[in-house]
Structure 1
C-alpha cells in the first residue's frame, strides 16, 4: 500500500492511496470478520416489548464473551482496581443498563464505518480515493480491526516489535503493524 496523500480538488479534498490485490483481500477479510462479530452480537440482543412499543432499541445487558468483542464493546464504568468486583453490585447494574441503552447505536456506528471501507476498497486492488467523511470512517473502522486483531493476538505493552519466525503470531503481527501504519498515514494526510 502506498502512503496516503491529500489532494485538493474543486469538489473538495480527496485522500488517495493504492493497494495491491493481496492487501485489498486481507483488509476486506479482516473488516468483514469484525463486522460479522458485531452483526452476530446485535442479533443476540433480547427482544423487548417496551422497546417495540416505544421504538427505543435496546441491546444486550451483559458484556460479550468473545475477547475481541469485549475490547470493541467495553464496559462503560470500571470499578476501582482496589475494590472487590461483585457482578451483582451497582457498577454491574449500571454497566448493564448503559450497555442495553447504548450498545445498539455503538454497533450501528461500527458497522457503518466498516461498510465504508468495504465499499471503497477495490476488490482486486487499485486506487482508493476518499472524501474526508469516508476517511474518518476508515479511521474508525481500521481502529476496530486493529483492536480486534491485537486482542486476538494478545498484543500488549510487552509485545516486541517482531516475533520469532516460529511464533504462529508472527505473520499476524506484521498485519497488525501494517494496519497501524495505514491508520497513521491516513491521520497524517487528514491533518491540514
Structure 2
C-alpha cells in the first residue's frame, strides 16, 4: 500500500491516486464503519416546517464514546480538562446549535468516499483503478481521512508521541489497526500536498 495522491492532470485542482482492489476494499470498509459510528441523519418527517428544521436542537451533552467525543469535542475545554459550571453550560449551548450540522458534514464526507470508490473500475489487466477527485471531492476525502485517523487514533490511545506504534511486534493484535492508521496518515499527507499550490 504505497499509493499516494498526486495532482490530477485531467481535473484542474483535483487529485488522482491508483488503488488496487484491496486498498479500495479497506478504504470503503473504514468509511462505512465511520458512517455507522457517526450514526444516521435525522430525516425530517413529511410535512415538517423547513424553517423549524433549521433551528432543530442538537444534543447538549458530549458523546460517551471516546472516539465520538474526539470527533465532536467540547468547544470550551480540551480533552481531560476539568470544566467549571460556566464552561459546561457554554459548551452545552454551543453543542446544541452546532453538532447536528457537524455530524451531517462528517456523514457527507464519508458518503463521498464510499460513492467515489463505488464508481471505480480496474484498468484492464492491471487490477488497479485510478481514482480522480474534483476539488470538492478532495476536500470531502480530506475530511473523511482526518475523521478516520482521529477515530483509529483514539481507539489506539495515540498520544502526541506515536513512535511506539512503529515498534509493535507482528503478533500484536493492534498491528492491523496501526497499519491502517499509518497508511491513512500517508494518504492524508499526500492529498494535502495536492491542494497546496
Q: Which TM-score band (shorter chain)?
A: 0.7 to 0.9
The reply on whether 1:5 has 2:38 as its aligned counterpart is no
**Cα distance in 2 between the residues matched to 1:150 and 1:80:** 14
**Cα distance in 1 between the residues matched to 2:24 and 2:194:** 20
Which residue is 2:115 aligned to? 119
Whether the aligned pair in 2 keeps the contact of 1:79 and 1:85 (CA below 8 Å) is no
| Secondary structure at 2:62 match in 1 | coil
Cα distance per residue 1:70-103 (max 9 Å; x no partner): 1000001017988x545xx111111111111100
Counterpart mapping for 1:1-192 below 5 A: 1=1, 2-9=3-10, 12-40=12-40, 54-55=52-53, 56-78=55-77, 85-86=83-84, 89-122=85-118, 126-159=129-162, 160=164, 161-192=166-197
Structure 1 residues not aligned, in runs of 5+: 44-50
4+ runs deviating over 2 angstroms: 11-14, 51-55, 79-82, 122-125
- Count residues with an aligned counterpart: 180
* CA RMSD, 1 decimal: 2.5
Query: Normalized against structure 2, the TM-score is what?
Result: 0.81
| Secondary structure at 1:18 match in 2 | strand
Whether the aligned pair in 2 keeps the contact of 1:18 and 1:128 (CA below 8 Å) is yes
- Aligned in 2, Cα 1:133/1:53: closer, same or farther, shift over 3 Å? closer
Structure 2 residues not aligned, in runs of 5+: 43-48, 122-127
**Cα distance in 2 between the residues matched to 1:110 and 1:121:** 17
Query: Normalized against structure 1, the TM-score is what?
Result: 0.83
